[in-house]
Amino acid sequence: MSIVIEHLCHQYSAQGGELPHPAVTDVTLTIESGEFLGVIGHTGSGKTTFVQHLNGLINATSGTITVDGHNLTDKKERAIVRSLVGMVFQYPEYQLFGETVYEDIAFGPKNMKLDQHEIDKRVNEAMELVGLEPYKFAQKSPFELSGGEKRRAALAGVIAMRPKYLVLDEPMAGLDPKGRKEILEMLESLRASSGCAIIMVSHSMDDVSRHADRILVLNEGKVAFLGTPADVFSNSDELTNMGLSLPQSAILASRLRAMGVNVPMSICTTQAMLAWIEGRLTHNA
């Protein structure tokens, strides 16, 4: 099962005499069940517009999206898709509204008409997954939490609905390095435990190179590259011309190559760089 996107186009309506603005143009790809897809591109490249189509938050101007065979252009099917595709926006803590953390996280499962036992189970599991001990946080007001705890509670509210595909638009925005690392580890834990696919928009090339199975690069609303991190970041000149940076390890590898060192083009993560250095040391020992 998968999300199949075919020739997706979205054009914002003209305003004030301006011409209609194409935000996404002829995007075609398949997002496989259980994969981690990173979505990158410069500001205004169409990343947010693209991912908001995946559960019908906005409608395509043309093209089709099917999620596990359910077509988003069909209003009846759209409700099914929204139970399969969870959305987490930038600064998800702004979505908190319940009197207690428990009530906030339980909102989605209650709307799914689940019985109380199942709701309790899902809330507790989601809280534990994001690192909020239920006995300590469940009855707190979400507005008493720290910034990082609020973000975890907001993520738990989406996770409790057990989406098959989780779409995140810059989920680490504003977090310090420790907070970023914790969120990414939580996402990997969710994927490992549930098989949930992750579709994550990010400005951090290091994050996507380290965690994504594939990376989608959007440029002016079109697919510029789609492939493994090694495949994508080997196009360093083209990415730089788009206004994108490279992972730190890819930058180091490029500088070493410029000095005459034969570093493989596939190196774009710290782990790959360390493995290559260890191999060189072992070979020269």
Asked whether the predicted pLDDT for residue 211 surpasses 60, the reply is yes
**Top CATH class, 2-246:** alpha beta
> For 56-79, how does the pLDDT look when each residue is reduced to its tens digit (9 = 90+)?
999 999 999 999 999 998 888 988
Which pLDDT value is given to residue 181? 87
Tell me the HSE value of 92 on the side-chain side, using a 13 A CA sphere: 26
In the block, tokens 């493994």 appear at: 228
Dihedral sign computed on CA atoms, order 224, 212, 206, 174: positive
**Of 149, 99, 145, whose CA–CA distance to 127 is shortest?**
149
What's the mean per-residue pLDDT of the chain? Answer: 90
pLDDT, tens only, 219-234: 999 999 999 999 999 8
Is the pLDDT assigned to residue 88 strictly greater than 70?
A: yes
pLDDT at 118: 96
Question: What b/e string do you get for 101-134 counting C-beta neighbours within 10 Å, with b at 16 or more?
Answer: bbbbbbbbbeeeebeeeebbebbbbbbebbbbeb
Domain range summary for the chain, segments of one domain joined by +: 2-246, 247-285
More confident residue, 174 or 101: 101
pLDDT of 4: 97
Per-residue pLDDT, averaged over 7-23, amounts to 78
CA distance 275 to 78: 46
251 pLDDT above the threshold of 80: yes
Task: Provide the pLDDT for residue 76.
Answer: 87
- The reported pLDDT for the residue numbered 35 is 96
Mean pLDDT of 126-139: 93
Determine the average pLDDT of the residues in 95-114. 91
Q: ∠ CA 93-95-100 to the nearest 5 degrees?
A: 80
> So what's the pLDDT on residue 134?
94
| pLDDT (0 to 100) of residue 148 | 84
Q: Does residue 14 register a pLDDT over 70? A: no
Alpha-carbon distance of 208 to 229, in angstroms, equals 8
